Amino acid sequence: MATINGNYDKLAAGYLFPEIAKRAKAYSMKNPGTKLLKLGIGNSTEPLAPTVVAGLKLGADKLAKAETYTGYGDEQGDARLRKAIAAQYAKLGADVADNEVFVSDGAKPDVGNIQSIFSADCVVAVQDPAYPVYVDTNVIAGRGGKFDAAGGCYDRLVYMPCTEDNGFFPEVPKQKVDLIYICSPNNPTGAVATKEQLAKFVEYARKNKAVIIFDAAYSQYISDPKLPRSIYEVPGAKECAIEINSFSKSAGFTGVRLGWTIVPMACVCENAPAGKLNGMWNRRQCTFFNGASNIVQEGGLAALSEQGQKECKETIDYYMENAKVIREGFTAIGLKVYGGINAPYLWVKTPKGIKSWEFFDILLTQAHVVTTPGAGFGPHGEGFMRVSAFGHRLDITEAVESVKKNLKV
């Protein structure tokens, strides 16, 4: 007799982003002809850079000839791409070896799957608010415990509040935890951790034999040279941190799909000596994953070339100009806006203490603008809205003007 994984029934709500899409669609159905301006889901909108397109075409052309055709590739990724990714870390002064790089079909699968190499009784700490995948995957794996509807928390998870008072970056946990999820630049708050802040977590993790899962999906949006783009810029981080990154927001691969995970040889935990975690992730990927698309990896290589990086940066600058338009427009009507400086997300305080989901409805109905309610990212997201800077400039400008003109609270 088959039985289900009952942990799915412990999930407090549906996955956040389909819920936003569902509500936006329902509004459109009820109000045909109304143009919705979407600043909700962080989804790239601008065309791929010419060099990247050439790389993808090259990948396809190679498949058209017997001499260059390839079938299954290495589960860990094309050796040339692993090398190119490792070389990116060298530019940051971080020492990452090719065999510590695991290419994948995106950061989300990796950030969801990485917990599977750790034991079910690990205590998990998450930034609150956080990208929902960290919490949901650990709940599904049985690490969440019971959901307390009143507090909006799972009782076995340790929530690290990110608030206005701490600049949206938390203190290290007071108790002993085993796995720590950190995202910088942060989704949803747009805050970026300093080296000193990360160093405190590295120190904590090494002392407690904990492992940090560092999600750096937006690292290319950091323009301030003082801010770290990788946790490996912090001495000692290779002993305690796994870093995950993506081509989605740096090269527009949200639909193309390509990412990577670094599991350093030096990374250890309670019962894993050096090399063990790297070997386990390798085993996990070889068993569950058949390698990223060969065409896409060719595109990824092109994105990491000098010309590719230059062109991708222009698109990043475009989205960051959008962020500036949103920040200035919202600030002009008295809204309190955080983030959007070294990150493509803005974290907007709801006026008059209005609840996030209520403000979501207000923005939708009054201004026809779709955002993401902060409460959807965790209890400390309540009272905030996340606004995404991904979009065509005209839509962004129209959305900002609509909020300025139509918002009445």
By CB under 6 A, name the binding residues for ligand PL4: 17, 41-42, 106-108, 111, 131, 183, 187, 215, 217, 246, 248, 254, 259
Question: Minimum distance between the CB of residue 385 and ligand PL4, rounded to whole angstroms?
Answer: 13
Q: Which is nearer to ligand PL4, 208 or 342 (CB)?
A: 342
Give yes or no for a contact between 127 and 294, defined as CB atoms under 8 angstroms apart: no
Cβ-based burial of 47 (10 A; exposed 0-12, middle 13-18, buried ≥19): exposed
Q: Which is nearer to ligand PL4, 111 or 407 (CB)?
A: 111
Q: Which is nearer to ligand PL4, 179 or 268 (CB)?
A: 179
Q: Which is nearer to ligand PL4, 219 or 278 (CB)?
A: 219
Closest CA to 41 of 164, 131, 163: 131
Neighbours of 307 (CB within 10 A): 14
Within 13 Å of residue 92, how many CA atoms lie on the same side as its CB?
22
DSSP secondary structure code for residue 34 in this structure: P
State the SS3 of 10-28.
HCCCCCHHHHHHHHHHHHH
Question: Minimum distance between the CB of residue 73 and ligand PL4, rounded to whole angstroms?
Answer: 19
Question: Minimum distance between the CB of residue 372 and ligand PL4, rounded to whole angstroms?
Answer: 7
Q: Which is nearer to ligand PL4, 159 or 377 (CB)?
A: 377
Q: Which is nearer to ligand PL4, 268 or 389 (CB)?
A: 389
Helices (H), 124-262: 133-140, 195-208, 248-251
Question: Minimum distance between the CB of residue 68 and ligand PL4, rounded to whole angstroms?
Answer: 27
Question: Minimum distance between the CB of residue 246 and ligand PL4, rounded to whole angstroms?
Answer: 3
Closest CA to 44 of 52, 54, 34, 32: 52
Question: Minimum distance between the CB of residue 226 and ligand PL4, rounded to whole angstroms?
Answer: 22
DSSP 3-state of 266: coil
Q: Which is nearer to ligand PL4, 105 or 382 (CB)?
A: 105
Q: Please identify which residue in the block is written with the tokens 């950030």.
A: 111
Determine phi and psi for 274, rounding to 5 degrees.
Answer: -50, 135
Contacts of 394 (CB under 8 A, 6+ apart): none
Q: Which is nearer to ligand PL4, 133 or 325 (CB)?
A: 133
Question: Minimum distance between the CB of residue 285 and ligand PL4, rounded to whole angstroms?
Answer: 15
Question: Minimum distance between the CB of residue 108 and ligand PL4, rounded to whole angstroms?
Answer: 3
Neighbours of 290 (CB within 10 A): 11
Q: Which is nearer to ligand PL4, 186 or 208 (CB)?
A: 186
Q: How far is CA 161 from CA 13, 86, 170, 243, in A?
A: 20, 33, 6, 22
Question: Minimum distance between the CB of residue 3 and ligand PL4, rounded to whole angstroms?
Answer: 28
Q: How far is CA 228 from CA 22, 197, 215, 318, 322, in A?
A: 36, 10, 13, 22, 23
Q: What token pair was written down for 86?
A: 């490792």
CA R_g for the chain: 21
Question: Minimum distance between the CB of residue 190 and ligand PL4, rounded to whole angstroms?
Answer: 11
| Amino acid making up residue 358 | E
Q: Which is nearer to ligand PL4, 189 or 309 (CB)?
A: 189
| Amino acid making up residue 56 | L
Helices (H), 31-163: 50-63, 79-91, 107-113, 133-140
